[in-house]
Amino acid sequence: MKKLLVLFLLLASYSGFAQLADLDRVEPMFWFTKMHNNKLQLLVHGKNIAAKEVSLSYPGVTLQKVNKVENPNYLFLDLQISPQAKAGKFNIAFTQKGKKQLRYVYELKDRDTSANRIQGVSQKDFVYLLMPDRFSNGDLSNDVVKGLQETALNRDSMYYRHGGDLQGLINHLDYLKDLGVTTVWMTPAIENDMRKASYHGYAATDHYKIDPRFGTNALYKQYVETCHAKGLKVIKDVVHNHIGLNHWFYNDLPMRDWLNQWPAYTQTSYRDQPVMDPHASEADKKKMLDGWFVPSMPDLNQRNVYVQNYLTQNHIWWIEYAGIDGLRLDTYPYNDPEFMADWALKLKAEFPHLSVFGETLVNSVAAQAFFTGGNTVNRGFDTHLPGITDAVLKDAIYEGLNGKTGWVDGINRIYATLAQDFLYQDATQNCIFLDNHDMSRFYSVVGEDFDKYKMGMAMLLTMRGIPQMYYGTEILMKNFSAPDGLVRSDFPGGWPSDKVNKFIATGRTAQENEAFNFVKTLANFRKNSLALQNGKLMQYVPEQDVYVYFRFMPGQTNGTVMVIINNSDETKALNTRRFAERMGTATKAKNVLSGKELNNVETLQLAKKSATVLELY
């Protein structure tokens, strides 16, 4: 009986018996004039909407085609918008003989052509990653929203909502700016109306709506504008691969192949190798790409042209609407490769300065480089993906700090990893990091060793690439990803009831302030160092657990940054004659971390387990 009931409900939702309004939604709900691509495809959803005739009349807007699909509750309208079309509102009419005419008032808005509105992110920047639910609660009134699936607010559990929101983040932008942060990246803020673990943002249930427990679309736009006014940039986290099980269109699919369907539930293998393996079976490749990420996250079929249009237009809409500077692409290797290449081209055409990097949690430099742009020989096409999240360099830094020295082990792993940068078209566009919301925190992985912490942070903030730091690292937040997920703990002081406030110096311990000031010193130095912002990297083979590299502007000595990592348990006297090629005529230096001037750089005294950052002149 239960199976029959489930079958009836599925058929009912697919046959127009679901409790739908006659005109439930039109997406995108509005669009913009003077876009590079003059075509727009509207998704229309409503009870038996396919039975209606569609018409519109507005100068410069042409209804080219009405697409009917398997589910009669959907229409896909192909519009063409001429370059001469002006901002304004017009009716889209849905007419059926003997029925009341339905109308949707559609709006074209003027595109915002302000100079430098969408700035892009580069090596000049320092990215701060946070989870809005766990950072700060600035609006207690939206902690619980009636009508949503999850109404529990429980800060004692890592799997329920804690109440953090957009207003809380806005309230602490000055804290980030003082720290030296230039760019804010938060995990997805769009609606996740899931029964459990709805806080993390990666199970979307409405692509065009900010989750009401975080705020509103208008508040998100205000957040971006406030960041820009303070000289901060914004990265938006987007998910192509999957949605949440409670997504509104999952409950009434436009067509069966809107999702990757299997005879029985099939989970992805999580193995990236079949995507690049010239010897791989098609079955393994299909399982990797089309298998569901987890049972609660249905896998979108990106070979479906309607899905392609929907995702591409949604991302363009958010960028234009809010003025976002960059995108981080979740689970990049799990997406359809050809679609992602086409997507990248279309976004670049609309926003030439937009920055994009893809999450690639893989195990080798070659595997990371395989997904980046310019690798046409091996792929047969260009992905047009500028950069990736450099997990391999992260692992190398951990090995350098925690491992025992060997030919390619210990500190030598860092050197060997960077030596493979020739595989990338431009390694400087990779996002480098030490941890994030999906892995154990950096301070715990190095055994809460403060010397290792400082060495790691020094490398993060002086290495090639775009540095990203996970929230709370600056105050030594710790914990492991398993078994209880405490890596996603609240930032102390972000809630009115918190007993300590680590957003201010008086709320931090002496060591937490030392860590905060260490990060602050290097991050603010970056803002004025051309070598770190735009310079090249030269590294030297480590010797006796000492690793030396330089960031420099070709043809210049002054301003060159010399970084020395002494991973030894002994103090060292480092003779610098070996580095004459890069040090050039420099005879003096400033110690960036201590502020002290060095009048002689022929021999440098290195403390054990230490990082030294010098600006040469």
SS3 at position 231: coil
Among 250, 194, 125, 172, CA closest to 527: 125
Give me the residue label for tokens 């990338």.
Answer: 424
Interatomic CA distance for residues 380 and 364, integer angstroms: 21
Q: Do residues 471 and 437 make contact, with C-beta atoms less than 8 angstroms apart?
A: no
What's the rounded Cα separation, in Å, for the pair 249 and 447? 46
Whether 330 sits among the annotated catalytic residues: the reply is: yes
- Tell me the Ramachandran region of residue 351: left when phi exceeds 0, alpha when psi lies from -120 to 50, beta otherwise: beta
CB contact at 8 A, 86 and 33: yes
| CB contact set of 339 (below 8 Å; sequence gap of 6+) | 240, 302, 303, 308
409 belongs to the catalytic site: no
Question: Active-site residue among 27, 193, 320, 330?
Answer: 330
Q: What is the dihedral of CA 592, 597, 602, 605, to 10 degrees?
A: -70
Q: Which two tokens stand for residue 549?
A: 């590299």
Backbone angles phi, psi at 40, to 5 degrees: -140, 135
> Which two three-digit tokens encode residue 608?
């054990």
Q: Which residue, among 317, 332, 296, has the nearest Cα to 200 in the 3D structure? A: 296
Active-site residue identified among 211, 359, 435, 615: 359
Residues in the chain: 617
Q: Where are the beta strands (DSSP E) in 13-85?
A: 25-27, 31-32, 39-45, 53-56, 61-68, 74-81
Which residues are designated catalytic? 330, 359
